Structure 1
Amino acid sequence: MEVNDVLIIGSGVAALQLATLLHHGQTVRMLTKSHCTHTNSYLAQGGIAAAVGIEDDPSKHIVDTLEAGRFHNNNEVVCEILNKAPTLIRDFSNRSEIFDQDRNGNLLLGLEGAHCEKRIVHSGGDATGKNVVDYLLSKCSDNITVEENVIAYELIIDPGENRCVGVKAKNPDGKIRHLYANYVILATGGCGQVYAYTSSAETITGDGIAMAYLAGVEIVDMEFIQFHPTLLIKNGQTKGLISEAVRGEGAVLVTEDGTPIMEGVHLLKDLAPRHIVAQTIFDVMESGKDVYLDIGCVQEFEKRFPTITAMCRDHGIDLSKNRIPVAPGSHYVMGGIQTDGMGRTSLKGLFAIGEASCTGFHGANRLASNSLLEGLYQGEKLAHWINEQPVRTVHSSMPISTPTPSVQSKKANLPDVHLLRKLMMKRVGIVRMKEQLAQQKKWLEQVSIHDFTTLDHYSNEELTSIFLWINAALITEAAFYRTESRGGHYRSDFPYEDDDTWGKRTIIQTYKGERAIYDEQVKASLVT
């Protein structure tokens, strides 16, 4: 029987922050489906937002976060995280010494879209995520066991206590394992790979969200998908992310003839909230024109953005022309497993942190560079809470299980994944409307959730397809249900915000084997 105090699924910033801050007397096991660095955290370029500048204040950061989130945020969570952010970042900076500084030892601060102040701390120019993850990995102590290439696929529930006590997982050779823990944490990231164009790592397939959904846990706000405005595009394929920090340093979005596309669209022009910039680029591309980032005004571009420079050169982009071809693609899901600020879900014993969770912090659209901040905050807060809990023993009535031989693989009756991703981009992408959403709902309903009451007989590849299908269905259902436009959810047939009808969250969960969808009021509204 494999038992640990804490079982963490995932290896991003939130997972690593949690693991490294737990008491060394706790036995911690971390499972990751690929390599530890094959995460969105590792790819994060821009930085971490915190009001650490002389002219800045958490109250300004709060206003920017609520405005970007279109006031769909949970105010209590927003205020708690952003008031804590300066201390959290200064402490982390003093501990790690990885953030970029000026000659006087002051943190260098960048500006990104929808921020009113320069407040983005970064590391290695545009290698913030990589450097933070590498630092946290270096701090993993002997009480932490990290297992790579192990896919968790099903939660184990103690029916007597209605409590999550572990997960089922598969080794690379297909052997099934039952792993138990006092605390089970899903830190599996978002679901970006549901879409054909995405900035997400290949591993980001919504595994944790799907596992929680199948166990009847509340999933919330899945209609709110942030499409990053500027993914590098070559021959119709996205090749990586061009950080918003590039526009923060002065780059301008233009058409091939040099016409700025954000003039007259928003007061902040190229630094408008992401959903506005992404929709504008989408409209221009729909008219048959290509869109570029003009980097001619960015001083010492190659020095400031070495990662982006290398990526462009690897894909044959001649930076001497000061033009980078870009297109929008899925970048972040504001929804996910409904939790409180610390990560507690609607199922006892189960926690979710990072992008897999939805605390209400990001509202309907995440403010740039708030995601790594949330991960660091949640990891720290949950670690402190677990450290303070009395010693608990896994329920003695749970069955004792050992690794079992691989079972005969079963084929999932699912649509082709490539077609699914293409249709999600077309029908449930940046611009949505009733007819296309209904069409996608009907197409996805070829498959029944009853087909997946047990997942033991599916290969790892088939499990990934199932998880993608579940996330696609959740996004489509929620997008069809919300008849307004807000943040990352834009309905061309309902193009305006409807505060009277839609000041609430969209919740989906399985109930007696069927999908149930309902809503509840957003916890808080405007901060005055």
Structure 2
Amino acid sequence: MKVFTSDVIIVGSGIAGLMAAELLSFDKNVIIITKSDVVHSNSIMAQGGIAAVVDSEDDWRDHFLDTLRAGCYYNNEDVIELLVKQGAEMIRKLEGLGVRFDKGKDGKYLLGQEGAHLKRRILHAGGDATGKELTLKLVSRVKQNVPIHDYMDAIDLIIENGRCIGVICLDENQEYVHYFAPHVVLATGGAGQLYSVTSNNSAITGDGMALAYRAGARLADMEFVQFHPTMLVENGKGAGLVSEAVRGEGARLITEDGKLLMEGKHELGDLAPRDVVAREIFEKVSNNQKVFLDISSIDHFEQKFPSVSSLCINAGVQIDKGLIPIAPGAHFVMGGVETNMQGKTSIEGLYAIGEVANTGVHGANRLASNSLLEGVVFANELAREIINTDDSLMKTNVKPIACIDKRYSQSLPAKDDVRAIMSKYVGIVRTKENLLKALKWFDKYSTLIRSKQVYQFSREEHTIRNMLTVGYLITASALCRKESRGSHYRIDYPLTSDHWLNQTVYCSMSKQEPYVRNKKDYVSNFVI
């Protein structure tokens, strides 16, 4: 049995984890654990760009308000202020690391505009390959100082006396590997692969959220799952993401009979918040009508959007005809492991940053291109916190857990079974009846979901266990939220601003009582 010790263990290799590793590596020994190859993440697939106030005509207050409006006023305002105020500084820091953002001949940033942004403030690198440019640059730097242990599945956190002291993993040979550190950071991304159509990398199955839940950490707002309006679809299957920046450059959403889909539906039209646009498209698709993105008005489309063009070519879509078939797909989870601004969770020694974390910054619906910004800003906050912590006060008992021989007697469902349930009953539009059907299905695996036992599973089985756990948490949380807000839409509770209950549903194995965040008017007493 292999054992590794370090000052910091980072689980995940997206923008948040890589940025944290880069910043920490000058002062701490860091190890990165990643589920597959180091470059397999949602971050590397991010096309839209990174939002930041870098233009003299823009102001952090405008970015703040756009974020708050998109989040349906459910956001933690202090955290939004931190995020948007640090935008320009983080762009400078990224440039200092070698990232080259797109600029015009005059040397000024080429700024784009996306859904729910009232100003052009989206920076790009490599056109629509911003995530790729940032990720590869960080990987090349991090590799020089930080060991990266790839194809390593984190299967459970090690908790001792209420403190997280490490992670148990399975390697490619199904051998257990133990990692010990006074600081364990979850940077595992979201849970898009719980749905049949998603923009997410195949490795993004909610693992970090499930690990934290089994360890007893508090999770919140799991019902808020954002569906990106424009997934490229071919033969009913998702074939990749069509960036919102395409609409920012003038593309229009049209129905198969040529009508403008968003005409009269929202004051921002095609650039309305994602939840609004996704529901409009979903309604058409549910009635067996096709929806397209009309790109005919965009000159030199292939040069401006090489990644989208490549997706279309690979899917057999002829972009010279000017129409891209689209449908909504699971994109981003606003909820997750609850943290403060420095990434601290409810468990000592355990941190979370990026999409796996819930700081409250996104509210009920994430503003476009705030995700890469979130990753670098909160990685910076986390690094500052850990660097200023005296590790000598944290004694870690480096004692590997004995060979795990506990078996689970019940057969597990397939991944596609979980996806089918989530897509059918816990998708863009929800009802009490459908949520109860999903909950009844998940209840068949309640013992596995609620147990803290580390079972003798294969890597595939561990992934399915995590999918079941997070699917259950999303479903149960959605059932508790008796309102429609942002990405959580209940037909039985129509969307009305005066009905918003401001409830927060907390999910914790330790059964801690929920509490009111941001002086909320109402809080559920249901703890999952």
Give the TM bin, normalised by the shorter chain.
over 0.9
For residues 66-120 of structure 1, what are the alpha-carbon distances to aligned partners after superposition, in whole Å with 9 as ceiling and x for unaligned?
0000000000000111111122213323442421011122111000000000000
Shift of 1:133: 0.4
Counterparts of 2:46 and 2:500 in 1: how far apart (Å)?
Answer: 36
Does the CA-based 8 Å contact 1:26-1:143 persist in structure 2? Answer: no
State the SS of the aligned residue for 2:505. Answer: strand
Does the CA-based 8 Å contact 2:165-2:349 persist in structure 1? Answer: yes
Corresponding residue number in structure 2 for 1:459: 458
Corresponding residue number in structure 2 for 1:520: 516
Does the CA-based 8 Å contact 2:484-2:500 persist in structure 1? Answer: no
- Identify which of 95, 98, 103 aligns with 1:96: 98
Residues 195-210 of structure 1 correspond to what in structure 2 (within 5 A)?
Answer: 195-210=195-210
Residues 325-340 of structure 1 correspond to what in structure 2 (within 5 A)?
Answer: 325-340=325-340
Does the CA-based 8 Å contact 1:336-1:357 persist in structure 2? Answer: yes
Shift of 1:450: 4.9
- Identify which of 424, 427, 431 aligns with 2:425: 427
Counterparts of 1:92 and 1:437 in 2: how far apart (Å)?
Answer: 43
Corresponding residue number in structure 2 for 1:478: 477
Distance 1:521 1:22, change over 3 A: closer
Give the CA RMSD over aligned residues: 1.9
For residues 267-299 of structure 1, what are the alpha-carbon distances to aligned partners after superposition, in whole Å with 9 as ceiling and x for unaligned?
111000000000000111122210000001112
Give TM-score scaled by structure 1 length.
Answer: 0.94
- Identify which of 130, 133, 140 aligns with 1:131: 133
Counterparts of 2:181 and 2:381 in 1: how far apart (Å)?
Answer: 19
Distance 1:30 1:376, change over 3 A: same
State the SS of the aligned residue for 2:280. Answer: helix
Residues 394-473 of structure 1 correspond to what in structure 2 (within 5 A)?
Answer: 395=395, 398-401=397-400, 413-450=411-448, 452-473=451-472
Q: Is 1:56 aligned to residue 54 of structure 2? A: no
Code of the residue aligned with 1:2 in structure 2: it is F
Does the CA-based 8 Å contact 1:484-1:498 persist in structure 2? Answer: no
Distance 1:524 1:453, change over 3 A: closer
Distance 1:296 1:412, change over 3 A: farther
State the SS of the aligned residue for 1:308. Answer: helix
Residues 159-178 of structure 1 correspond to what in structure 2 (within 5 A)?
Answer: 159=161, 162-178=162-178
360-369 vs 93-102, which moves further? 93-102
Distance 1:429 1:89, change over 3 A: same
Corresponding residue number in structure 1 for 2:379: 379
Code of the residue aligned with 2:307 in structure 1: it is T
State the SS of the aligned residue for 2:228. Answer: strand
- Show structure 1 runs of 5+ residues with no match: none
Code of the residue aligned with 2:465 in structure 1: it is I
Identity percentage of aligned residues = 43
Counterparts of 2:430 and 2:477 in 1: how far apart (Å)?
Answer: 12
448-457 vs 47-56, which moves further? 448-457
Does the CA-based 8 Å contact 1:6-1:182 persist in structure 2? Answer: yes
How many residue pairs get aligned? The number is: 518
Give TM-score scaled by structure 2 length.
Answer: 0.94
Shift of 1:387: 1.6
Corresponding residue number in structure 2 for 1:77: 79
State the SS of the aligned residue for 1:472. Answer: helix
State the SS of the aligned residue for 1:177. Answer: strand
Does the CA-based 8 Å contact 1:187-1:355 persist in structure 2? Answer: yes
Counterparts of 1:377 and 1:58 in 2: how far apart (Å)?
Answer: 15
Does the CA-based 8 Å contact 2:215-2:452 persist in structure 1? Answer: no
Distance 1:517 1:35, change over 3 A: farther
- Show structure 2 runs of 5+ residues with no match: 522-528
Corresponding residue number in structure 1 for 2:312: 312
